[in-house]
Chains A and B, each alone.
Chain A
Amino acid sequence: VQLVESGGGLVQPGGSLKLSCVASGFSFSNYWMTWVRQAPGKGLEWVANINQDGSERHYADSLRGRFTISRDNADNSLYLQMNSLRPEDTAIFYCGRDAPYSASSGFFDHWGQGILVSVSS
Chain B
Amino acid sequence: QSALTQPASVSGSPGQSITISCTGTNSDVGGYNFVSWYQQHPGKAPKLILYNVFDRPSGVSRRFSASKSGNTASLIISGLQAEDEADYYCASYTSRSTVIFGGGTKVTVL
Contact = CB atoms under 8 A, between A and B. Distances in A.
B97 A104 contact: yes
B99 A34 contact: yes
Contact of A44 (B35, B52, B89): B89
Given A43-B102, A106-B92, A107-B34, A94 B48 contact: no
Nearest to B96: A58
B103 A46 contact: no
Interface in B85-110: 87, 89, 91-94, 96-104
B54 interface: no
A58 B46 contact: no
Given A43-B89, A44-B46, A106 B99 contact: yes
What's the interface size class on B, roughly?
Answer: 20 to 34
Interface in A90-120: 94, 103-109, 111-114
A10 interface: no
Contacts of B98: 46, 49, 58-61
Contacts of B46: 36, 44, 94, 108, 111
Given A44-B101, A44-B104, A104-B93, 4 more contacts: A58-B98, A60-B98, A107-B36, A109-B57
Interface of A: 34, 36, 43-46, 49, 58-61, 94, 103-109, 111-114
